[in-house]
């Protein structure tokens, strides 16, 4: 009888132990890359390089290349600045330099300027191809002497080169300050698509529109 009770008691313990569910340890999830990126201050994730002085021809390319290098290039303007502001800018640029040194290497500034020079050279070649195109040059002369046409007048047109998905194709925009419906505004009045391989203009869009 005692043996029977011992066997029954053992069976009950076995059944109870089987019914108890084992608790799994709490799983700690790693934060996503997006969450980590959001938690990093902007001045560390995308530091800024502050420069004083007058604009120069390669500034547009510097803005573009800086974006590719994941930092902000900012021209503050002017040459004379108070000592307090100069000191804070110097501290900011030293921090930016240390961050970019860690990311890109100690010669990051040289790499940056070489990339700027290369892009500037490509943009200059593309703009010259558009300038020398017979249709573009004729259109500009015609419109600059015809102030009534389109109700605007081109004035000191500026040329800008833009990248496309094809590294050999650039779009040159020609813009000018003009007047539309008695309102002075900036106008894009010509876009020329340039093929760098053939060094020719392959398409021209001459529909003018106001740049807001």
Range of the domain at 86: 42-106
Same domain, 141 and 201: yes
> Considering the domain boundaries, does residue 12 fall inside one?
no
Question: Does 6 map to a domain?
Answer: no
- Answer yes or no: do 102 and 143 share one domain: no
- SS3 state at 180: strand
Residue 43 CB partners (closer than 8 Å, separation 6+): 92, 95
- Pairwise CA distance, residues 87 & 164, whole Å: 40
At 5 the pLDDT is 44
Work out how many domains the chain is built from and give that number.
Answer: 2
Verify that 137 and 102 share a domain, yes or no. no
pLDDT, mean of residues 172-192: 83
Q: Does the residue 112 lie in any domain?
A: no
Is residue 192 in a domain?
yes
Which has the minimum average pLDDT: 32-46, 61-75, 169-183? 32-46
State pTM to two decimals: 0.68
Q: Give Cα separations from 150 to 15, 131, 153, 182 (angstroms).
A: 92, 22, 8, 12
Q: Does residue 158 fall inside a structural domain?
A: yes
Mean pLDDT confidence for 200-209: 91
Q: Is residue 142 part of a domain?
A: yes
3-state helix, strand, coil in the chain (%, to 5): 45, 25, 30
Q: Judge whether residue 108 has pLDDT over 80.
A: yes
DSSP 8-class letter at 210: E
- What are 4-41's pLDDT values in tens digits? 445 444 544 454 554 444 444 445 454 454 444 444 56
- H/E segment holding residue 65: helix 59-68
Residue 70 belongs to some domain of the structure: yes
């Amino acid at each position: 009888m005692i043996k029977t009770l011992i066997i029954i008691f053992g069976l009950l313990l076995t059944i109870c132990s089987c019914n108890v569910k084992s608790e799994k340890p709490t799983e700690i999830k790693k934060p996503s890359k997006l969450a980590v990126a959001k938690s990093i201050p902007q001045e560390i994730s995308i530091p800024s390089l502050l420069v004083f002085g007058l604009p120069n021809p390669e500034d547009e390319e510097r803005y573009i290349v800086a974006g590719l290098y994941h930092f902000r290039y900012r021209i503050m303007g002017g040459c004379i600045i108070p000592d307090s502001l100069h000191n804070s800018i110097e501290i900011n640029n030293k921090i930016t330099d240390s961050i970019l040194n860690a990311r890109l290497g100690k010669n990051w500034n040289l790499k940056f300027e070489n990339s700027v020079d290369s892009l500037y050279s490509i943009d200059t070649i593309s703009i010259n191809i558009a300038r020398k195109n017979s249709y573009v040059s004729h259109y500009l002369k015609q419109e600059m002497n015809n102030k009534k046409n389109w109700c605007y007048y081109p004035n000191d047109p500026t040329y800008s080169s833009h990248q496309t998905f094809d590294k050999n194709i650039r779009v040159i925009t020609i813009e000018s300050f003009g007047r539309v419906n008695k309102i002075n505004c900036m106008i894009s009045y010509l876009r020329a698509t340039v093929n760098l391989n053939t060094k020719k203009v392959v398409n021209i869009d001459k529909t003018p529109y106001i740049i807001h």
